[in-house]
Structure 1
Amino acid sequence: MRSIWKGSIAFGLVNVPVKVYSATEDHDIRFHQVHGKDGGRIRYNRVCSECGQVVQFADIDKAYVSEDGTQVVLTDEDFDKLPAAEKHEIPVLQFVPSEQIDPILFAKSYFLEPDSASAKAYNLLASTLESSERTALVHFTLRQRTRLAALRVRDGLLVVQTLLWPDEVRAADFGPVEEGVAPSEKELAMATMLVDSMSEDFHPESYTDDYQIQLQKLLDDAIANGGEKVTVPSVGARESDAEVVDLVAALQRSVDEAKKSAKTG
């Protein structure tokens, strides 16, 4: 695993040198576009709409168009003038109760490794966060972009998770949930029983990405078949109940099925 960033955490007057690594990776199978008739690759050229010429990356700048149609072009020199002095420092802004951070704000995660002869300052910060049950809010600059981030502990290691800014989270604009349809005590009791019958500790390794597994099998079979496509049986649509009139009866059936699954599993 190769580090993608080096810097330090500024924890008051304490400086914690760290290396940063991506904590997650995407295993989705990638495809490229081809001409369905002959299988030729589809290429995309960077063509200027004004002169019709193909433009090299070195000659491409970034443009912003305002709502009134005004276009502003910025060069690399313009971006270099923006404040990013802390790009090699992760300053701690404050410490907040961990439960106050809504999970919807979490974006990408990064592991932090101590980058000094002594890991004492690193371990001090990790131990303090863990014992206080608090999360540090920090500024984290990566690839010339400064984000708000959460600094927390996972299995003894410091982890930075970038956060969305509040205005990046959309408001639900479909209106309030219909009122006057509060569940009855019996329905709540049955729903609670269903939750209890399906409750267990979370073991993420017990779940699999069935779509990617079947897609890989499809590709492997096609390759073994000389590149020819193979027929894959379609998955039948799951039968769905008609609109549930008796919610308690549906919950009871769900509880019974959950208990059966637990016995056979």
Structure 2
Amino acid sequence: MSFGLVNVPVRLFSATENHDVQFRQVHEKDGGRIKYQRVCAIDGEEVPYSDIAKGYEAADGQMVVLTDEDMKSLPTRSTKEISIEKFVPSEQIDPLLFDKSYYLEPDKTGLKPYVLLRDALEKADRMALVTVSVRSRMTLAVLRVRDGVIVLQTLLWADEVRTPEFESLSEETHATAKELAMASSLVDSLSGDYEPEEFEDDYAEAVTALVATKIEGGELTETPDATGEETEVVDLLAALQRSVDKAKAAKGGSGTSDASGAQSTTTGDGTSAKKAAKKTSTTTAATTKAAAKKSTTKKAATKKAATKKAATKKAS
């Protein structure tokens, strides 16, 4: 994070997480998961991921196919710097522009300038307008202070905010003085402070309770092994391995590679938020491999038991 002539090494951590209830699409008859295939709309054939390119649909419906070389020619920014452009009054940033939020943790060597910037922002009641590279694309963001921590919040571009055009509101219609007085009285009667703990996601709680009730009542569906699922896992691991090999080849076989596709925004001393994502990806791959091995062992044990039972029956 560049603050004048001072560079502050920081690490980015996502400030929010999604707690929405996640459902799977399944076949009602047997509980099998619904899978989607990448199929060409022209010949109806399934298309492997390696043959899929980016396409831009023109206004007349024609498709422009963009190759990897075309994408490389586009302007990108891979800088590791969060550059402060200016300090703007907080009220000038419309909350509608806010996108994703990240906490900035200072490195031990940059603690003092970090605290200096934090305190300066709080005292001035301003936000720092910055440019930052996210996924190789430059975007605007602001730095503000929340609970003693500097928060980086990316912004939408101005043309990404829609202009409301409602014909019903175009007329010169206003409330009467009596109506406004009654509305003001209602506002006063319901006035109070925002207390987050007063509100709960009752939908998520209800779904959790419903699922628990069904489990306790034995309403579970035994789903058989999905056909071709093991092959898909092998293909995925193979694809990841090819990606790693390709990245190593591009670097001359030195260094480490990240095939997880995690965000690679890095700041200051080169540390980044994608380390946690890379660790999660490694753990997931190990878990998948262990599950596949366990499934294979279970099948072998079942087959062996069946053979033994048949032999016993024949002997009797």
State whether TM-score is above 0.5: yes
AA paired with 2:127? T
1:80, distance to aligned residue in structure 2 (A): 4.1
Which residue number corresponds to residue 98 of structure 2? 106
AA paired with 2:82? I
| Count of aligned residue pairs for this structure pair | 221
In structure 2, how many angstroms separate the alpha carbons of the residues matched to 1:181 and 1:40? 56
Which residue number corresponds to residue 187 of structure 2? 195
AA paired with 1:46? R
Q: TM-score, normalised by structure 1?
A: 0.75
In structure 2, how many angstroms separate the alpha carbons of the residues matched to 1:37 and 1:211? 26
AA paired with 1:198? L
**Between structures 1 and 2, the one with greater helix share:** 2
Which residue number corresponds to residue 157 of structure 1? 149
1:87–1:142 contact (8 Å) kept in structure 2? no
Report the 3-state secondary structure (helix = DSSP H, G, I; strand = E; otherwise coil) of the residue aligned with 2:65. Answer: strand
Structure 1 outlier segments of 4+, above 6 Å? none
AA paired with 1:153? V
Are positions 1:122 and 2:114 aligned together?
A: yes
Report the 3-state secondary structure (helix = DSSP H, G, I; strand = E; otherwise coil) of the residue aligned with 1:171. Answer: coil
Which residue number corresponds to residue 257 of structure 2? none
AA paired with 2:183? A
Report the 3-state secondary structure (helix = DSSP H, G, I; strand = E; otherwise coil) of the residue aligned with 1:47. Answer: coil
Are positions 1:61 and 2:53 aligned together?
A: yes
Are positions 1:219 and 2:211 aligned together?
A: yes
Q: 5+ unaligned residues in a row in structure 1: which ranges? A: 1-8, 230-265
**Between structures 1 and 2, the one with greater strand share:** 1
Superimposed CA distance per residue, residues 107-140 of structure 1 (whole angstroms, 9 cap, x where no aligned partner): 1111111124240111111111111111111122
Residue 202 of structure 2, aligned match among 210, 218, 229:
210
1:207, distance to aligned residue in structure 2 (A): 0.7
Q: Which structure is richer in relative contact order (CA contacts within 8 A, separation 6 or more)?
A: 2
1:164-183 correspondence to structure 2 within 5 Å = 164-175=156-167, 177=169, 179-183=171-175
Are positions 1:89 and 2:85 aligned together?
A: no
Q: TM-score, normalised by structure 2?
A: 0.64
In structure 2, how many angstroms separate the alpha carbons of the residues matched to 1:55 and 1:29? 32
Superimposed CA distance per residue, residues 74-93 of structure 1 (whole angstroms, 9 cap, x where no aligned partner): 34454344333344211112
Structure with higher Rg: it is 2
1:181, distance to aligned residue in structure 2 (A): 3.7
- For the aligned residue pairs, the C-alpha RMSD in angstroms reads 2.3
AA paired with 1:142? V
Residue 27 of structure 2, aligned match among 20, 23, 35:
35
Are positions 1:146 and 2:148 aligned together?
A: no
